């Protein structure tokens, strides 16, 4: 189930910006709270964040592009 956009619940659009907003939220939610380096193996946090966004319209219609958006957002957001 996709995460809702915080200020507009239930509004998801089939575009990279909408996906990036939802991915960012999932990425932040999976951030370690104890100061450790992450959730297991290097790609595990990304995999789990993308899994949380798997039902997003953009992820469904453009899965390869959704992965590129995720990689771009990770570079901006940091580990």
Q: Are 52 and 26 in contact (CB under 8 A)?
A: yes
pLDDT confidence of residue 3: 55
pTM of the complete model: 0.78
**Residue ranges for the chain with pLDDT beneath 70:** 1-10, 34-42
Three-state secondary structure of the chain: CCCCECCECCCCCCCHHHHHHHHHHHHHHCCCCCCCCCCCCCCHHHHHHHHHCCCCHHHHHCHHHHHHHHHHHHHHHCC
Residue corresponding to tokens 């992965």: 67
Spans of all domains in the chain: 43-79
pLDDT confidence of residue 79: 73
Q: Which of 75, 73, 79, 78 is nearest to 17 (CA)?
A: 73
């Amino acid at each position: 189930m996709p995460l809702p956009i915080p200020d507009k619940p239930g509004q998801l659009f089939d575009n990279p910006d909408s996906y990036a907003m939802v991915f960012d939220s999932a990425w932040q939610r999976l951030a370690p709270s104890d100061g450790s380096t992450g959730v297991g193996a290097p790609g595990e946090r990304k995999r789990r964040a993308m899994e949380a966004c798997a039902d997003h319209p953009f992820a469904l219609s453009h899965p390869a592009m959704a992965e590129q958006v995720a990689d771009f957002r990770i570079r901006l957001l940091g580990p």
